[in-house]
A and B are shown apart, each in its own frame.
Chain A
Amino acid sequence: ETGVTQTPRHLVMGMTNKKSLKCEQHLGHNAMYWYKQSAKKPLELMFVYSLEERVENNSVPSRFSPECPNSSHLFLHLHTLQPEDSALYLCASSQDWSSGLITGELFFGEGSRLTVL
């Protein structure tokens, strides 16, 4: 099993749909992250969870709703998205939140490519 697994790899949805992105990590880490990767823009941090508690919400629109039921799983629920939300959504994990800041060792999944029509 790879360290961080994201599903689905590709998702096409209409603006009225509701869908979810899933991330699972098999590394025994305590911190998980959602980043948004858009062309020609820096990676944008969306959410950080540490021990299943949200520690960061980077002014993300409410149409994105994260869920972290346990330290191994992270979801991003999507509803009434806009075409500009089309991007690659990356999940990452680190041993814990503070060590992630110090060591910089985040482990990323391959991403979910989202297209909003």
Chain B
Amino acid sequence: GDSVTQMEGPVTLSEEACLTINCTYTATGYPSLFWYVQYPGEGLQLLLKATKADDKGSNKGFEATYRKETTSFHLEKGSVQVSDSAVYFCALSDRWANQAGTALIFGKGTTLSVSS
């Protein structure tokens, strides 16, 4: 079945450091890919998305490019801030798969901690 694999955390960075959180996926069809963020004490929020190969999603300085050849969707940011400290979830939606009732499939989440 479809699945998402994220790098294990926690990721600990200093302010203004570069961030990469790896995400790879397995899907039977042509998935859309998403990154969600969960700030402390809050629910998950959609951060960015890409719906087809080579698309780049971006929001709040974060970017991720849909790489079909490597089945990856790594999250990147050039300069992180303390306020970026959160849990980041990679997810996919394989609407073309023969799975009735499918909803988003999430990874385990990667905790990012940024210190000043």
Binding site for B on A (CB under 8 A): 4, 33, 35, 40-43, 45, 48, 55-56, 90, 92, 97-98, 100-111
Classify chain B's interface size: 20 to 34
| Binary interface encoding of chain B residues 28-43 relative to chain A, with 1 for a CB under 8 A from any of its CBs, else 0 | 0000101000000111
Binding site for A on B (CB under 8 A): 4, 32, 34, 41-46, 49, 51, 89, 91, 93, 95, 100-109
Partner of B108, one of A33, A40, A90: A40
CB proximity of A90 to chain B, nearest CB, Å? 6
List of A residues within 8 angstroms of B100 by Cβ: 55-56
A-B residue pairs in contact (CB < 8 Å), sample of 6:
A33-B103, A43-B106, A55-B101, A56-B100, A101-B95, A104-B93
Q: Are B103 and A90 in contact, CB atoms less than 8 angstroms apart?
A: no
Report the 9 A-B pairs with minimum CB-CB distance, sorted nearest first: A108-B43, A56-B101, A43-B106, A104-B34, A108-B44, A101-B95, A101-B93, A55-B101, A110-B43
CB proximity of B94 to chain A, nearest CB, Å? 8
Q: Which residue of B lies closest to A56 (CB)?
A: B101
List of B residues within 8 angstroms of A92 by Cβ: 43-44
CB proximity of A77 to chain B, nearest CB, Å? 21
Q: Are A104 and B101 in contact, CB atoms less than 8 angstroms apart?
A: no
